Amino acid sequence: MGEIEAHESKLYSEFAPLYDKIFGKIFYSRLRRVIGDLHIPRGARVLEVGAGTGTSFPAYPRHCQVIGIDLAPDMLARAQGKIRENGWSHLKVMKMDALQLEFPDDSFDYVMAFHVVTVVPDPVRMVEEAKRVCRPGGRIVIVNHFTSDFPLLGSLTENLDPVTRRLGWRTNLRLRPFIESTELKVEKAYKISKLSLYTVLVGSNHKNGNGYRGG
């Protein structure tokens, strides 16, 4: 199969009106816990890659500054509507490609990627860009499903990959090769519950320099 183009396909824009109804509550409860566990400090600069309709937005503390990016205009329009309706002055959204971020190096203290690495055409490139715009010692946080290490389940999900790629995501991404290929310095990897299909990765961005630069 060819590369995934779902992050900029018509599918995601057409799906925008139903996205929150179908996934909103399910995804939000997970992301609220992940964001809360980070204890984001006052003045921190946060980038969320693939923000979609802004499902995670209510979980961010108002004392940080958050930019959410996505390529699907209809998803972003819904996210912008939430920002306006709730008066979230600490949040804004921008149309941007996760593989070509339009920010200078070291612009953010945190870079979040929720349910994104199996959607973008090149997950390694996405992480490289995340590391570039994240300051030295900053955090890169990824929440995603990965192919199971259990042979039967892993084989099943890999066999589904040609189908899911047509829908906009891959099911053949394995956790260990992903970490190795991205050279992500993972400090913590966990599942929110034993039955969860999603893995949380918290990585430290190792560059020259260190320290939090918030206000």
- What are the boundaries of each domain within the chain? 6-204
The dotted CATH code for 6-204 is 3.40.50.150
At residue 85, what is the residue type? E
Higher pLDDT, 120 or 173: 120
- Each residue of 59-112: pLDDT tens digit? 999 999 999 999 988 889 999 999 999 999 999 999 999 999 999 999 999 999
Strands (DSSP E) contained in the chain are 45-49, 65-70, 91-95, 108-114, 134-145, 185-190, 198-204
- Each residue of 104-116: pLDDT tens digit? 999 999 999 999 9
- pLDDT number for residue 168: 53
At residue 69, what is the residue type? I
Q: Distance between CA atoms of 11 and 65, rounded to whole angstroms?
A: 30
Place 5 in a pLDDT band, splitting at 50, 70 and 90: very low
- pLDDT number for residue 8: 44
Residue 9 confidence (pLDDT) above 70 = no
Most confident range, picked from 25-34, 113-122, 200-209: 113-122
- Each residue of 156-182: pLDDT tens digit? 555 554 544 555 555 567 899 999 999
- pLDDT number for residue 13: 56
pLDDT more than 90, % of the chain:
57
Residue 141 confidence (pLDDT) above 90 = yes
At residue 61, what is the residue type? P
pLDDT more than 70, % of the chain:
72
Q: Distance between CA atoms of 54 and 61, rounded to whole angstroms?
A: 14
- pLDDT number for residue 154: 47
Q: State the average pLDDT for the chain.
A: 82
- pLDDT number for residue 209: 41
